[in-house]
Amino acid sequence: MSTASGALKGLRILDLTHALAGPFCSQVLADHGADVIKVEPLEGDFFRRMGPFREDDQVRSYGGLFQACNRNKRSIAINLKHPEGQAVLRRLVQSADALVENYRAGVLNKLGLGYEALREIRPSLVYTSVRGFGDVVGGASPYMDWPAFDIVAQAMGGWMGITGEDAQHPVKVGGGAGDTVSGLFAAFGTMAALWHARATGQGQYVDVAMTDSILALSELVVSQFSYRGVSPMPVGNGIPGLAPFGTIAVKDGVIAIAAPHGPQFKLLCELIGMPELVDDPRFVDEAHRWENNQALIALIERFTRQHTKQELKALLGGKIPFSPIYTAGEIFEDPHFAARDMLPRVEQPGSAEPVAVPGVPVKLSATPGQVRHRAPMLGEHTREILQSLGMDATETERLIEAGAITAP
């Protein structure tokens, strides 16, 4: 049985997802106490085979990417193509509050496990899908059957068209933002639908498209074209109209500063020993500072190139919006992330030492979420879960022999 605590304790979520977007959605719910049962095929989520791996890990049950989006879950391995495997899933649905999946559109329908079939078993079930271009519920996209990865969502949703140094060199945002952003929207949508189900007993379909999720956060793209008919282009790390705002070269790397408004700009000039810049006609107000942005950055860098990131942190930190551009090593060393418990450690099967995973960013004062345990091994909880459904050991072994399920 699950021993989870947190604001979502008591919720049971069936997680029929793979890769990153779907697992990230269900992990958010698990972090806050939901009992998330990861339903994997007999060969496991393919993300288990993705690295990085520890050098001493001879087991290789899963690598760092899987660990980062599947903690706090239980795993059951079911062959959904097998009639008895399908029957096991239907039994799980009887006690589930929600189901999350990110198969290609129509795959689970063909197996008799789509929303319409499962709502007959559990009318209050919230059924969430996360796909590249959504499903028919939210509007049948002409691309609904197209496969998608993070880079596809970022390219079509608007981010890559405004990210980079210029229009000839579009750049995607680092990490899998096309997956994790849609995972966050899916978690929110699932909880909104669960709130409705709690009040009415009526479940529903939650349809999330990765590309839609990126567009929803492309406010610059939408507003510029809607208001002015302009398609914005990449402008590096700045925002059109604001200066200084972006990255600045320093003695040992790069920093980020944002001091475009009058009081901030005045304080920055005083801190770097150039108070005369405030009255310079080229920089007298926000419009002029943007118009002469390159000249302004060059002057600021005369000072910053003589100082290290840590020296500038001591000088500017807490006074104007500022941060060094951190490497991973510097993130692990910074006291902020330790104080906020943002790099908790969990067991890594096959390795002698625990590993760090990204922490829980939403801090609840009364019912805090937490990283309680590592990601599960494939089918680790199959017997435990089936026992909770009333199946005895003999029936479980029969299903294993039939190829409907597997368990370690």
Active-site positions read: 179
The secondary element (H helix, E strand) that includes residue 14 is strand 12-16
The contacts found for 335-342 with CB under 8 angstroms, 24 or more apart, are: none
Strand-strand pairing, 355-356 and 345-346: antiparallel
Rg of the chain taking only CA atoms, in angstroms: 25
Location of structure tokens 């609840």: 364
- How far from each other are the two terminal CA atoms of the chain, in whole angstroms? 18
**Separation between Cα atoms, residue 326 and residue 324, nearest integer Å:** 6
Helix/strand/coil for 166: coil
Q: Could you give the count of Cα atoms lying within 13 Å of 357 in the half-sphere of its Cβ?
A: 26
Nearest to 364 by CA among 332, 337, 341, 333: 341
Contact 209, 141 (CB under 8 A): yes
